Structure 1
Amino acid sequence: MSRPQPQKRATVHDIAAAAGVSRGTVSRVLNGGYVSAEARAAIEAAITEVGYVPNNAARALKMRRSQAVAFVTLEPHSLFLDDPNIGSIMLGANAALSLADHQMVSLVVESSRDTERVARYLSGGFVDGAIVVSARTQDPIIKVISDLSLPAAFVGHPPELDRTIPFVGIDNVGSARAITEHLLTGGRRRIGMIAAALDRDSGIDRLAGFRAALGPLFDEEMVADVPHYDYGSGVKGMRELLERDRSVDGVFAASDAIAAGALEALREAGRSVPGDVGVVGFDDSTWAVRCQPQLTTVHQPAKEIGSCAAQLVLRQLRGEHPDPGGQLLPTPLVLRDSA
């Protein structure tokens, strides 16, 4: 049995022949130029008749634009799927790009091999710009973006990154200080922190806010350093804190997923929440309302952050020059039952 042949794509020549006009007249209609009403009607009827679909790839090549923006996540693949905060940032970015008729291309960087592959992709002209999430200092992907002068925006603001690239984020120091002060106001005095991602600005800043809130009560031994903002890190970090000091009565978890893991470890240890230990998280993600008890946390406007980052890239593509400084969005506390 012979394999069916693919249908031939209709061209401008086919439209011109069906409408009885020249190729130039068809091109003027397709590119928004002026032709008579009679010619336009004939060409529009011919487009329907021959089933013409614009070749956007060819048009992008001619305009040297791909109409695509990369969403680059510098996180492990498992965290990319497990962290609802990253997902919400992505959805916010995608919604803004879609309204501007741009496609979002998701690129996850976990290994050095990923870094090389993504660097080649960005250098190949496949995207017009990039939104970068979870950037670390001296990351080679950041150097590629800077060297290409690729329109870009950071989610977050590591201090050593290219200051000519705008960013959008939150006040992690102030937010962490406020949520820790809430534990202090509730009478907690032996407060620990499960601190994650201390190789990037969000983790460093949340630890700084925790330290500032505690002042003379701060004890380095009451900080459990874990690698990622995930559930497993919360279980591990809480077990470490309990091993170091069974009298811990308050815990600031650097994300809601970490807080959920901490609750599990506390249940294992026979400690009640909030009776024996007050637990607070960060993000106000779906983890916060799935937990029992539900989490007191910091609301991070993830979708708005993604949307703002996309808008910063789109402005650059329109030839505008956004402030190289940053845009910080508000992060109110959300009080629930865990503290």
Structure 2
Amino acid sequence: MPPPGPRKRTTVHDIAAAAGVSRGTVSRVLNGGYVSVEARAAIEAAITTIGFVPNTAARALKTRRSQAVAFVALGQHTGSFADPNIGAVMRAANAVLSLADHQMVNLVLDSARDTERVGRYLSGGFVDGVIVVSARAGDPIIGVIRDLRLPAAVVGHPPDLDGAVPFVGIDNVGAAHEIVSRLLTTGRRRVGMIAAAQDRDSCTDRLTGFRSALGPAFDERLVVRVPEHDYRSGVLGMRLLLELEPAADGVFAASDVIAAGALEALREAGRSVPGDVGVVGFDDSAWAVWSQPRLSTVRQPIDEIGTVAARLVLRQLRGEPVDPGGRILPTTTVWRDSA
């Protein structure tokens, strides 16, 4: 007996015949168009019964769409990849894209060579849109996206977007001002900051909020700048702050992971938290609840940020207008044991 041949691929004709509708009605359902409730139910039942896998290659040739959206994580320092927020944004964005039958393609940039490679990839038509996280002012990938006129959304708000690429983010200045102001109400008088990654808008804005909350009491010497958002930077930054000001009784860390490192350095120095020093962070990430004591921090709506970013890209792909001014989402101050 000859071996069986390949299974015949189910076509739109087969689905239409089984459902008792026209090919055009089936095509509208497969492409997200409107049909009656009865027709949609009949088509979905036929697909379940006889099986159907869309020919995505043929669809791409016809529509010139890849049904893929790139998620571009801009590294430049190891802390970006340790940041739990990036993973949470990615998961939330992927959930939205999946429901819209789009595949997420993850691209990581950690060098100039990566930038060139990813730029060529984006130019090749392999994706229909882009979500960018951790962009910096003057980032060349933003220029590539702008030149290609790719549907895109940026998480954060680099100062040079100029309305060319929509963004979604938070009010880092206001959130930092609020939590530092609350720290001051606990009686702290010598408050410093461990500031990281000052080439990112979120970090420079948090420093601005810290400065505004302190007002005349702001002392530039009590701002310790570290290059990365990681635990080690928090340890080293806190040690340096204690050297500069042994009487420091409050600390605002630019992220929870930095605050966790600061707690380690304070334990080494024999300082109790919050008895001797009050510590606050930013993000309300897993670090905030893992730490001992648990961190007072700023909660970002991370899931909503990823959801909005994906929806912004999908709206552009459908030809719908988007607000070039972007979306600013609200934050919440979460007060716990560390302050």
What is the TM-score of this pair, normalised by structure 1? 0.87
C-alpha contact (below 8 Å) 2:80/2:229 kept by paired residues: no
The aligned counterpart of 1:323 is 323
- Structure 1: which amino acid aligns with 2:182? H
C-alpha contact (below 8 Å) 2:75/2:81 kept by paired residues: no
Change (3 A) 1:315 1:28: closer
> Is residue 220 from structure 1 mapped to residue 220 from structure 2 by the alignment?
yes
**Consecutive aligned runs of 4 or more in structure 1 exceeding 6 Å deviation:** none
Task: Please give the alpha-carbon distance, in whole angstroms, between the structure 1 residues aligned to 2:324 and 2:72.
Answer: 20
The aligned counterpart of 1:241 is 241
Deviation at 1:31, TM superposition (A): 3.0
The aligned counterpart of 1:148 is 148
Deviation at 1:281, TM superposition (A): 0.2
How big is each residue's C-alpha offset from its partner over 1:230-269, in whole Å with a ceiling of 9 and x where there is no partner? 2121111111101111111000000001100110111111
Task: Please give the alpha-carbon distance, in whole angstroms, between the structure 2 residues aligned to 1:91 and 1:181.
Answer: 33
The aligned counterpart of 1:174 is 174
Deviation at 1:327, TM superposition (A): 1.0
Deviation at 1:75, TM superposition (A): 1.8
Task: Please give the alpha-carbon distance, in whole angstroms, between the structure 2 residues aligned to 1:326 and 1:281.
Answer: 26
Match of 2:8 among 7, 10, 23: 10
Change (3 A) 1:143 1:265: same
C-alpha contact (below 8 Å) 1:10/1:53 kept by paired residues: no
Within 5 Å, which residues of 2 pair with 1:1-339? 8=6, 10-11=8-9, 31=27, 48=50, 53-76=53-76, 78-339=78-339
Deviation at 1:143, TM superposition (A): 0.6
Deviation at 1:148, TM superposition (A): 0.3
Deviation at 1:26, TM superposition (A): 10
C-alpha contact (below 8 Å) 1:80/1:87 kept by paired residues: no
Give the match's secondary structure for 2:187.
coil
Deviation at 1:58, TM superposition (A): 2.3
Aligned residues: 320
How big is each residue's C-alpha offset from its partner over 1:45-99, in whole Å with a ceiling of 9 and x where there is no partner? 9x94xx7633212212221111111111112574344211111111111111112
Task: Please give the alpha-carbon distance, in whole angstroms, between the structure 1 residues aligned to 2:6 and 2:235.
Answer: 58
Task: Please give the alpha-carbon distance, in whole angstroms, between the structure 2 residues aligned to 1:71 and 1:269.
Answer: 42
Task: Please give the alpha-carbon distance, in whole angstroms, between the structure 2 residues aligned to 1:205 and 1:6.
Answer: 66
Give the match's secondary structure for 2:321.
coil
Change (3 A) 1:289 1:127: same
Task: Please give the alpha-carbon distance, in whole angstroms, between the structure 1 residues aligned to 2:287 and 2:329.
Answer: 21
- Percent identity between matched residues is 67
- Structure 2: which amino acid aligns with 1:96? V
Deviation at 1:228, TM superposition (A): 2.1
- Structure 2: which amino acid aligns with 1:185? T
Task: Please give the alpha-carbon distance, in whole angstroms, between the structure 2 residues aligned to 1:250 and 1:103.
Answer: 46
Change (3 A) 1:180 1:28: closer
- Structure 2: which amino acid aligns with 1:131? I
Change (3 A) 1:192 1:77: closer
Task: Please give the alpha-carbon distance, in whole angstroms, between the structure 1 residues aligned to 2:208 and 2:123.
Answer: 36
Give the match's secondary structure for 1:263.
helix
How big is each residue's C-alpha offset from its partner over 1:199-258, in whole Å with a ceiling of 9 and x where there is no partner? 021011000000011111111111111122221211111111011111110000000011
The aligned counterpart of 2:32 is none
Change (3 A) 1:163 1:259: same
- Structure 1: which amino acid aligns with 2:199? D
Task: Please give the alpha-carbon distance, in whole angstroms, between the structure 2 residues aligned to 1:125 and 1:143.
Answer: 16
What is the TM-score of this pair, normalised by structure 2? 0.87
Change (3 A) 1:6 1:247: farther
Task: Please give the alpha-carbon distance, in whole angstroms, between the structure 1 residues aligned to 2:64 and 2:77.
Answer: 32
Change (3 A) 1:132 1:6: farther
Change (3 A) 1:8 1:226: farther
Instruction: Give the alignment's Cα RMSD to 1 decimal.
Output: 2.7
How big is each residue's C-alpha offset from its partner over 1:136-163, in whole Å with a ceiling of 9 and x where there is no partner? 1111101100000000111111111241
In structure 2, runs of 5+ residues without a counterpart are 30-34
Task: Please give the alpha-carbon distance, in whole angstroms, between the structure 1 residues aligned to 2:198 and 2:191.
Answer: 19
Change (3 A) 1:329 1:7: farther
Task: Please give the alpha-carbon distance, in whole angstroms, between the structure 1 residues aligned to 2:9 and 2:282.
Answer: 55
Give the match's secondary structure for 1:31.
helix
Change (3 A) 1:221 1:88: same
C-alpha contact (below 8 Å) 2:10/2:53 kept by paired residues: no
C-alpha contact (below 8 Å) 2:130/2:313 kept by paired residues: yes
Task: Please give the alpha-carbon distance, in whole angstroms, between the structure 2 residues aligned to 1:53 and 1:88.
Answer: 30
Give the match's secondary structure for 1:204.
helix
Task: Please give the alpha-carbon distance, in whole angstroms, between the structure 2 residues aligned to 1:227 and 1:77.
Answer: 8
